[in-house]
């Protein structure tokens, strides 16, 4: 009986994590994060890499941006994007970024909305 309960918890957890990942991926592209941070969240010389960063760090940064805390022009730009994010949005987005799987650039290349990745 104990193993059945553990199995059910494991399956439920896997489904919830996949749902968070997919929703986070959708938010990443729908909010144009990929425009600056790249389709694989790899960053550039101007914008930081977000892929596979620690979730707590990403979450704190987004919450700070949402609160309007910014010490540079690029951070002020992030505040404009973050102000509309809900707590659930931040949870899903940071889960996606912290557990990021590489998105193939071909998947998002010509989609007018930036695509939703792999």
What's the predicted TM-score (pTM) here? 0.71
CATH of the domain at 97: 1.10.760.10
What percent of the chain has pLDDT above 70?
Answer: 71
Count structural domains, the chain. 1
- What domain range is 7 assigned to? 2-104
Q: Give the CA radius of gyration of the chain.
A: 16
How many beta carbons lie within 10 A of that of residue 76, not counting itself? 13
pLDDT in tens, 12-64: 555 456 788 999 999 999 999 999 999 999 988 889 999 999 999 999 999 99
Residue 118 within a domain: no
The answer to whether 93 and 24 are in contact (CB under 8 A) is: yes
Within-domain flag for 109: no
**The pLDDT of residue 116 is above 50:** no
């Amino acid at each position: 009986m104990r193993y059945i309960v553990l199995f059910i918890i494991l399956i439920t957890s896997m489904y919830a994590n996949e749902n968070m990942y997919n929703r986070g991926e959708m938010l990443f592209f729908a909010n144009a994060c990929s425009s600056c941070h790249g389709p694989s969240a790899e960053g550039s010389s101007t914008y930081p890499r977000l892929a596979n960063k620690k979730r707590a760090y990403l979450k704190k940064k987004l919450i700070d941006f949402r609160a309007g805390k910014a010490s540079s022009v690029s951070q002020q730009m992030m505040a404009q994007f973050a102000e509309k994010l809900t707590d659930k949005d931040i949870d899903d987005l940071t889960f996606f970024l912290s557990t990021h799987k590489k998105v193939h650039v071909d998947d998002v290349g010509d989609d007018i909305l930036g695509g939703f990745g792999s």
